Chain A
Amino acid sequence: MMTLWWAQIVAVIRLEMKKTFFAKRGLWVYLLAAAPVLIWAGHSINMMMIRDHQRDVATEHPLATETLESIQHGMSRADVEEKLGPPYSRRMVRTRRQDRAWLNYTDGESNYTFMFEDGELRGISKRQIYKCSIPQDSLIFATVFQFFYLRLAIFFGCVGVFMNLFRGELIDKSLHYYLLAPMRREVLLVGKYLAGLITTVVIFTTSTALQLWTMWLHFDRAAIDEFLRGPGWHQVAAYLGVTALACLGYGSVFLAAGLLFRNPIIPAATVLLWESANLFLPAALKKISVIFYLQSLCPVVAPPDKEMAAPLLLLVSSAEPTPPFLAITGLVVLTIAVLIAASFRARKLEINYGTE
């Protein structure tokens, strides 16, 4: 019996793969997963270009930091150029009332911009060019991962994939082919769930791995090796695990929503609002959400948004993170419970396309 069920589950997965994984209608899920990879790749390429440009400039116009630091307000432009040599770039604005000039120098680490009014130094601006470090980028990655990737990309990806499994088939009027096969409805449910899970886990964990890889692309080999020897591999494993668990948890919820509700977008919107408001909920209510356990499992705590309005910042509450073992067990138990509830509904499912 188990052999037969397993063969049937594999057959359902194979069918779903053709329709979901390899179909044009699934393209938007790939785009959702690819978007953060492109952002990190763009950042890395940008950083590499800036770093290389600054190094080239520093090679062509070598200057020591002490020399640049020795320039004082009030010095004339001629004195500055004599001391530092020609700048690597300049900008001049001439009006009837005054002449303004900006001269840019670099020591390879920072950009110095000297602003002259009528030939006299009035302003000095120093900007560190390459202010990335792996710990800093890891903090930004944690914020992007927890507030955008989990809550938007994986969330909407799972909505699209899992809700389509039953509700989409009902809309397409093709569910009856499955119900006319010599297969228990519970087996069909498991097969469809696993198909959705494989699709989302493969797509989103690949995206997570690529995000991490592209994030580190512009760092030196030595810095990366040192990071990996430290917390690096643990963070990689944690993020991949959280991604997979997110697909597991959200997948079961949206599969059940697709079975239980004629308009499954309403429960999806409710879950979205609830998860979005998780930051502001009291500790007891925070625990009634998938995102709370997922965030507990993330290796780096994401800081709150600095640009959040002050009144909203006051409402942010924190709760004790759940231990990893409990978080994982809780999510798995939730998934199984939701699937069992969904299977009761699947057993009673009737085909009445006219009302869909």
Chain B
Amino acid sequence: MSLLWLILIPALGGVLAWIAGARHPDWPRWIALFVLAIDLLIALTLIGPAVSSGRTAWIASLDLPWIPQLGISFELNLDGLSLVLILLTIVLSLISVVISWTEITDRVGLFHANLLWVTTGVIGVFLALDLFLFFFFWELMLVPMYFLIALWGHEHRFYAAIKFVIFTQGSSLLMLVAILVLVFIHQRATGHFTFDYLALLGTKMSPTTAFWLMLGFFVAFAVKLPVVPFHTWLPDAHTEAPTAGSVLLAGVLLKTGAYGLLRFVVPLFPDAAHAFAPVAMALGVIGILYGALLAFGQNDMKRLVAYSSVSHMGFVLLGVFAWNTLALQGVVVQMLAHGISTGALFILVGALQERIHTRDMRLMGGLWGTMPRLSGFGMVFAIASLGLPGLGNFIGEFLILLGSFRVSVPFTVIAAIGLVAGAAYALLLVQRAFHGRASPQPGTAQPIDLTARHLAVMGVLVLAIIGLGLYPQPVFDQVAPGLAVLQDSGAPSVSASTQLAEAAR
């Protein structure tokens, strides 16, 4: 039942926060903090060994009848992968509440309601194992996120918000069609009309059908991840969103795309996915380089961070389609590290904007003199982002490269060049904003440095990224059984791999 509470608590907390907002603007903040803290406690109690049994390795599961007439059940299952992503989600949501304390002063109740509902949807996505239920939560994330961007965002918020919604919704309807075709194929083969993931695993179909269905799922997740060329919504949405929105988008929503690839695309269509792997890996490599290149060219600090996400997610795509243990473990660490480091960078950009009212790096410079704490943390996360050993991102990127090296040497070599490009834009950020000669600041004469609230948040994030960099083993232990099961069901069938081998010869 704790899985159900994990979803229900933020959902109901959102309603409560909305109602409370009419009484006093600070109540929603406390309610959101309290609700997320409870949720975090529940999630922490779930840390533990998975019960492995053949094709599954669940830590906890729940199956309630929902729409029995259509073969849909309310089926939630938690494995190590889901658990670490849920922990990341809740922690980043908590942080989002804290850092919005002074930034959001308008419609506070509705803001926190939307924030909690996004969290609900994301947790649901990470737990749902019925394909319809998954789609339900997938769609549920959309509207509150739209509101977060459209109502509390910056100058071009409406444009950015609508672009985000249209990209996501268009691609997810394609996924719905693919889900339905898969379900009907399964029904024709077995007579059962069901949306159960475990039942649908291993459905027999022709390679052409499998390819198109795989593509339907892939596009939906590729838009969220995002994969070049479906990434154009991302810089706009990230830049225009309020800080909390950017943190959630980058830290959490992008991970749902990666999770979908891991959980659904490869296991449901192993042969098609393996045939598609070279294309996907090429897209990943393009994303790494293209994202880094564009990040390099930005003057807007927030846009720079947004494009760096595209680059980091390219590694995730590369790792997913390399599909071996090392690469997959790298993918998990990369997702966590990216959530932490990019989240932190967005928080710092937000704090900076609150103080000097600009994100334009041409107007910055020499901030270290006036805001040493902010600049110091900025540098830590910038170098985390470029993959300095000892910090979490390094572990992720290194493992992914190690894993993909076994699959394709050329892609790995090109992807490694991306690391150099990453160093270039990250150091450029530090150089232009924090170092150099102090330029006259528009607005206040003497901006205030980070306050205790921000310092606490940054402290937690720094500890997390260092912990992940120095001792990632607990994460590996937690996700290993789940990943092993996924890897097993996603392995290409023998005939397909021999065919591939012959083709290669």
Note whether A and B form a binding pair: no
